[in-house]
A and B are shown apart, each in its own frame.
Chain A
Amino acid sequence: MTDTLTPVLTANWADDRSWTLPSYAARGGYAALDKALGMAPDEVITAVKDAGLRGRGGAGFPTGMKWSFIPQDNPNPKYLVVNADESEPGTCKDIPLMMASPHTLVEGVIISSYAIRAKVAFIYVRGEVLHVIRRLQAAVAEAYAAGHLGQNIHGSGYDLDLVVHAGAGAYICGEETALLDSLEGRRGQPRLRPPFPAVEGLYASPTVINNAESIASVPSIIANGPGWFAGMGTEKSNGFGIFSLSGHVTRPGQYEAPLGITLRQLLDLAGGVREAPNGQARELKFWTPGGSSTPLFTAEHLDVPLDFESVGAAGSMLGTRALQIFDETVCVVRAVLRWTEFYKHESCGKCTPCREGTWWLVQVLARLEAGQGSAEDLDLLLDQCDNILGRSFCALGDGATSPITSSIKYFRDEYLAHLEQGGCPFDPAKSTLFEEVPA
């Protein structure tokens, strides 16, 4: 178990004009592609399997196994779709990655497409991040010009076209089947499974959908070997990942480390929880291990190893390693209400529990925040969450319940304090990052 940072994906971020092809090539970029093209596609899949790479989009499904599900005897074209629709509150790893080093992703796309024998690949990028879309488009153009994309790549006889597609501003399109519908030009709503995308995905053809960070990790696995990758991380959560620290932390940012690192270690690297304007230390109050859809943790979880199994065992999910740090100035009811408003706004409307449930949750939480209602409302909230969790069509509804149930679990008294005081006991200005500015 290592406790140092392992910059791989982030290694070149500080380079001069790191997003350009010359800069990327200067560090040996696209060498892994040559190596991969010298292997049989199935060998590439085996390498990724052996490396133990698990999906970096949150669910942690083994990437190589997903690739091997593609029925190669299916006469339809195969597609690789990269999910770069990063929209989860707190999650900010793919967008900085594509901003700083889009070629890492592009090279990963080419190797991965080669492995699954796709002739066309798509990167579905969140539409709001225009600057990132431009960088990606420029990188794809550079790659075409350099012969990394297009016909007969590196003289191997392998052809690949890569399309950068901008989303239209819906969180639900990060759900892989909704993403496919959106990519096909339809209304983005989750599809019924089965059929699974591996069999009938984009345009009813076999499709692999992977998170951007997963695909970006592939070139390093090919370049350095599966053993190198598997040597990092924990027993079942191999390799490294980008940990995004945000919120009340002294030096927020991306910290690339092996899976299994703890928040305590990361906080040390990031300078700890932010201080008050008067220099007084502040305490960690709660945090999310993987974005707002993962149940909250508190200071008691500082030493939970941040890998899939340990975080799961501690009652949450590793998710996207979006570590949002909230200190003692934050009202948990307020924070949870804001998240819930997000889910209400982003619920696609397809299924009843998510569509109607989030609408109602917001109303109950808003009343609680205003100090109205009663203690029974907490049981009502929990019952509503119970009626949503596992009943909704996709995971969006499940995610909406996580902050509520976990916050009531750890901070029931704080909810009750709102009722006792007839309002929020916190000064919302203090929780802001501009708290010293007079009102």
Chain B
Amino acid sequence: MTAEMEKSDLVSLTIDGVEVSVPAGTLVIRAAEQAGIQIPRFCDHPLLAPVGACRQCLVDVPDAGNGRGFPKPQASCTIPVAEGMVVSTVNETAAKAQTGIMEFLLINHPLDCPVCDKGGECPLQNQAMSNGRGESRFAATGGVKRTFPKPIHLSPNVLLDRERCIVCQRCTRFSDEIAGDPFIALVERGAQQQIGIAENAPFLSYFSGNTIQICPVGALTSEEYRFRARPFDLVSTPGVTEHDASGAAIRVDHRRGKVVRRLAGDDPEVNEEWITDKDRFGFAYLYADDRITYPRIREDGELRPASWLEAFEVAARGLARCSGGAGGVGVLPGGRLTLEDARAYAAFARESLGTEDVDFRSRPLSAEEAAFLERHVKGTGPGDQGAVTYADLETAPVVVLAGLEPEDEAGTVFLRLRKSVRAGGTRVIALSPFTTRGLAKLSATVVPTAPGDEADALSSLLGHADHGIDHRAVILVGERLATAPGAYAAAADLAAKSGARLAWVPRRAGDRGAVEAGLLPAAGGRDADAIVGAVLSGELAGLVVGGVDPDDTSDPAAFHAALEAAEFVVSLELRETDVTRVADVVLPVAPITDRAGTFVNWEGRERPFPQTFRNPASFTDARILAGIGEELERIVAEPASAAHEEDVAAARLRRMVLAAQRHGTAAGFVTGAGAPSSTSEGAHVAGGVHAATTDTDSDGRGASTSERIETTATFKLATWKLLLDNGVMQQGDKALAATARPPVAILSPASFARLGAMVTVTGDRGSVTVPAGSAVDLPDDVVWLPANSTGRGLLADVASPGSRVEVTNA
């Protein structure tokens, strides 16, 4: 019966003698694809609305399904199928039409294929071979091409060669329809028609690189890839983005062992054909000067090169010393691991080190979050596990966003939401301090929410019948909810009461895999903040640190102090960081290109990717941890030396005292009166958002600090990281960095009027001075700042998110 119904919805037509049955409304060009017939085309793109501009896809329709044919060739990209329709894509009429259009396209197109970046992978070049004339009648009759100065910058990283442009409008349509950043548009007319930008309005979009990829000629090029390689010299390897939790498919193009560009992969279930500019251009960090390429060990206070075997042994001996009776080892693997590496870390921590002090979260966190992840996130995935998927975002009538700014924190999710909103299928309700540009592009209903108020705001949603949150709705929560007490619970409660489905969208590519691998402390274990506190209090002696930037953590000063205080630090890193600079053993891990692996994206979908380069000198985290683990097993078997243990204990005490002194004086607290008098107390105060797993969340939120500041500070600090900011994995591409949004403090209009265009925001850790802006719906007592666009970032320089800060005229 179902088959019958489906059949009745299908339309049968004949294309080049092949009978095809396709759903009603399908365009002829799509129907032809299903029959394996390729009609030449330029402006047509399956993910963009039809426009019929280039006319290359003209076909002959001798029978439109009603017994009569069209007298003229028809554009197959704009004409829907009809029952009984007969189409020829190759008969004399169609062939002449296609050849004629191709000839026109080429008259003003420069013959510079040999120096054009697109040459070799160019739809125009290819289709000129298949559907063009061998000789140019235009040149033969002395034709004069239209010329333009070239190239011009549409943005710092997108360049336009107007001579090559065939004005198919793919780029302008993408920007308008998909990204919602219509900063480029057609200007002038006739043969002078060109893609243009408004004066002083560069093409600033997080998704601008997609226009380069869908350009069917070499008109759009990136600053980064221009003239770097020939397509036919490149080797392509599929990949998955390492920049966010989207799991977006990418294609890595490389030459002579070096990545020269990255493109969006085509995965309809995940990223369709789009990626963010960070996914596309953010790979220069792989070739940074400070990449660590060989193991190092600390000897007489200095790091020196070492062999892998030596490094493994030194690391193992140091960790063995620390995990004995003299304390323990905390493991902070970070959120950028593949699933395989995350599992290796979990096994290493629990089996080799015998500790539960392991936590992947290198950002403000809460115990409540860990419980939420265990209960609502871990073990879910697409398919029969019933997790929310990208496709669900398109079918859900309502999507609630809490603690998540999709355009900045999950660009691929943003694009899918926007697609659904534009199609009229989805309404977005966002709990946000103000209507951001991204939320405006989603036509979101914004529930203005001051930081910390998310729990109340979530709880109040059900009281609004007009929001229409029911079992078909989807709730997307971001990792920032960890800083809002009760918010995760409120989200789970909302889901339970309404029947809505719930998904957690973290920021980092390895976050979700880490949850699956168990990189959270089990009962009796310490979370990341508690591990830092325990090192400072002397309860833990050693640290194994993966890809963690101390300035990303809840309390950067405390983290730095803990690194100093720890007796023994093993760092698994890609590049030199504040961790490697103080570590006792530095072990270089394989970059994303040198390893195969699996990321688990926010959906819980496993995204395996192959190795791009085979590099025998590159060791994955898992391989390194296995090496240390083997050494540890060997050492445990050795007889213990009592005298040695005493030495260790004495050394540790000495280091603790030194560290405490440094911590108190050099960490630079603004609230001098509150400077910690002892290491343990200092750790607690500086813990800010959250101090220890044993505390309940609301009680543990650095209460003493907040109360002290409250008398003068009137603003709550709202913040998140912009898509493009000072993150270490975006370093090295100046053009990309130039497209980042400049840091601006957002105030309510009243505060903005009072405080002026330049403000200083001062928190308990320091202050930052930035230009101010205003948003109409931002609550009066909230200031929003980008989390990592100034200095060392807000956590290190200003205050913890959600805490009270002072804003003054600068």
Q: Which residues of A are in contact with B by a Cβ distance under 8 Å?
A: 170, 172, 187, 189, 192, 344-353, 355-360, 363-364, 367, 372-373, 377, 380, 383, 386-387, 389-393
Contact = CB atoms under 8 A, between A and B. Distances in A.
A348 B141 contact: no
Nearest to B54: A352
B108 A192 contact: no
Contacts of A189: 186
A363 B191 contact: no
B97 interface: yes
Given A352-B101, A356-B104, A380-B137, A347 B54 contact: no
Contacts of B73: 390-391
Given A391-B55, A391-B58, A349 B104 contact: no
A18 B97 CA distance: 52
Contacts of A383: 100
Given A187-B185, A380-B141, A347 B190 contact: yes
A289 B96 CA distance: 31
A360 B140 CA distance: 12
A390 B60 CA distance: 12
Contacts of B307: none
A188 to B, nearest CB: 9
A189 B185 CA distance: 13
Contacts of A377: 141
Contact of B51 (A192, A349, A363): A192
Nearest to B52: A192
B78 interface: yes
Q: Which 4 A-B pairs have the closest CB atoms?
A: A349-B193, A387-B100, A390-B72, A356-B104
A391 B70 CA distance: 12
B228 interface: no
B144 A363 contact: yes
A387 B103 contact: yes
B188 A349 contact: yes
Contacts of A389: 72
Contacts of B56: 352
Contact of A359 (B54, B97, B107): B107
B36 interface: no
B82 to A, nearest CB: 13
Nearest to B187: A187
A393 B143 contact: no
Contacts of A357: 104
Interface string B85-113: 00000000000110011011101100000
Contact of B96 (A352, A359, A387): A387
Interface residues of B, number: 38
Nearest to A193: B78
- Among B97, B100, B104, the one with the most A-chain Cβ atoms within 10 Å of its Cβ is B104
Contacts of A172: 189
Contacts of A359: 107-108, 146, 190-191
Contacts of B50: 192
B627 to A, nearest CB: 62
B448 to A, nearest CB: 31
Nearest to A373: B141
A351 B54 CA distance: 5
B189 A170 contact: yes
A172 B189 CA distance: 10
Contacts of B71: 390
A390 B54 CA distance: 14
A353 B137 contact: no
Nearest to A354: B190
A380 B50 CA distance: 32
A352 B73 CA distance: 14
B53 A393 contact: yes
B138 interface: yes
A347 B166 contact: no
B101 A349 contact: no
Contacts of B78: 192
A367 B141 contact: yes
B193 A391 contact: no
Nearest to B138: A360
9 contacts: A187-B185, A346-B190, A349-B193, A352-B55, A353-B100, A353-B101, A387-B101, A390-B71, A393-B53
A352 B191 contact: no
Contacts of A350: 53, 167, 193
Contacts of B108: 356, 359
Nearest to B143: A363
A353 B189 CA distance: 14
A344 B185 CA distance: 21
Contact of B104 (A360, A363, A364): A360
A364 B140 CA distance: 11
Contacts of A393: 52-53, 55
B731 to A, nearest CB: 40
A360 to B, nearest CB: 5
A350 B51 CA distance: 9
Contacts of B72: 389-391
A402 to B, nearest CB: 15
B486 to A, nearest CB: 45
B189 A352 contact: no
A357 B103 CA distance: 9
Contacts of B193: 348-350, 355
Contacts of B107: 356, 359-360
Contacts of A356: 104-105, 107-108, 191
Interface in B98-151: 100-101, 103-105, 107-108, 137-138, 141-144, 146
A373 B51 CA distance: 37
Given A386-B100, A391-B100, A348 B55 contact: no
A122 B202 CA distance: 36
B100 A360 contact: no
B141 A364 contact: yes
Given A390-B72, A393-B53, A352 B190 contact: no
B191 A344 contact: yes
B743 to A, nearest CB: 34
Interface in B145-186: 146, 166-167, 185-186
Nearest to B77: A192
Contacts of B104: 352-353, 355-357, 360, 387
Given A348-B193, A356-B108, A390-B72, 11 more contacts: A348-B189, A349-B186, A349-B191, A351-B53, A356-B104, A356-B107, A359-B108, A360-B104, A380-B137, A390-B71, A391-B100
A408 B350 CA distance: 90
Contacts of B146: 359
Contacts of A344: 190-191
B192 interface: yes
A170 B56 CA distance: 26
Contacts of B97: 387, 391
B141 A363 contact: yes
A348 B52 contact: no
Nearest to B168: A352
Contacts of A373: 141
Contacts of A347: 189-191
A349 B142 contact: no
Contacts of B55: 351-353, 391-393
Contacts of B185: 187
Interface string B62-77: 0000000001110000
B193 to A, nearest CB: 3
A358 B189 contact: no
Nearest to B167: A349
A358 B190 contact: yes
Contacts of A372: 142
Contacts of B103: 387
A313 B348 CA distance: 90
Contacts of B142: 363, 367, 372
- Among B73, B96, B191, the one with the most A-chain Cβ atoms within 10 Å of its Cβ is B191
Nearest to A190: B52
B137 A355 contact: no
